[in-house]
Amino acid sequence: MALVKNPIPILEYDDYPFSVLMPDHERLDLNLPERAVFAFLEDTVDRYAEKHHAKTVSHFVSATKPYPVYVLDLNGVQVCLMQAPVGAPAAVQILDWMIGYGVKKIVSTGSCGVLEDIDEGKFLIPVKALRDEGTSYHYLPPSRFVHVSDRVSKAIEKILTAYEFSFTEVMTWSTDGFFRETREKVLYRKKEGCSVVEMECSSLAACAQMRGAEWGELLYAGDTLANVNQYDERGSGDGSREIALQLCMEAVKLL
């Protein structure tokens, strides 16, 4: 175990598993279920928790807001439910914390931008992510891509098939630069095989792998960059939000 140094700081990697500040440093009296849904769905998460009489067992307190930690009983299966913040560093900080307190099998969901001609709201399953963000490089050695848990992806596929929803497996471009998706970068990523773009997939997959957990994601198509000369926000796929959350709840029970 050693720190691998590099002239470019983000490419330096230390495989030592223990940090000065560990995710469970607070030593909370908290034991979370091994199954969790970590969703980029704003207030949809809170509404679902209220509707299904979820118990608030704790909060993740960040500098901007406290995030409720819900636990639901789904026909005898205990599932943790949390809202995920947008952006790799914030999302991974919470995921790592959840894993530190017992979570081992995680399904996420949220919208993505599309780089190809994909209908708004269509369900997509990322199986591989291009690491164009910074957080994943603190969890895995430098590489161009990271793979998503095949077991979690298959569980999501099984539920989508059972409910007769069409879906497509995709490779995604995970980027920190929301306003730096330039014309040439979009064309380059498409040439590499990326058909969607979002901000967290590669980092969440890396965190889960490093911590020995399983993580996968159900995306739905939102805005489109398919025409690099005319961006179209469309409706951000909002019509798929509640359905996506319910599908994830079904999928995580299979893990």
- Triad 143, 220, 80: Cα angle to 5°: 80
pLDDT category of residue 28 using cuts at 50, 70 and 90: very high
The answer to whether 188 and 175 have CB atoms below 8 angstroms apart is no
pLDDT digits (tens, 9 = 90+) for 86-102: 999 999 999 999 999 99
Domain with 97, as residue range(s), is 31-252
Q: What is the pTM of this model?
A: 0.96
- CA-nearest of 182, 178, 197 to 130 is 197
- 3 state DSSP class of 75: coil
Stretch (H or E) spanning 245 = helix 241-252
Residue 1 pLDDT more than 80?
no
Residue at 6: amino acid letter: N
pLDDT category of residue 235 using cuts at 50, 70 and 90: confident
* Separation CA 171–CA 173 (nearest Å): 7
**Looking at residue 81, which CATH number applies to its domain?**
3.40.50.1580
Residue 47 within any structural domain of the chain: yes
Average pLDDT over residues 7-27: 94
Residue 73 within any structural domain of the chain: yes
**Residue recorded with tokens 């014309």:** 183
Total domain count, the chain: 1
Residue 2 within any structural domain of the chain: no
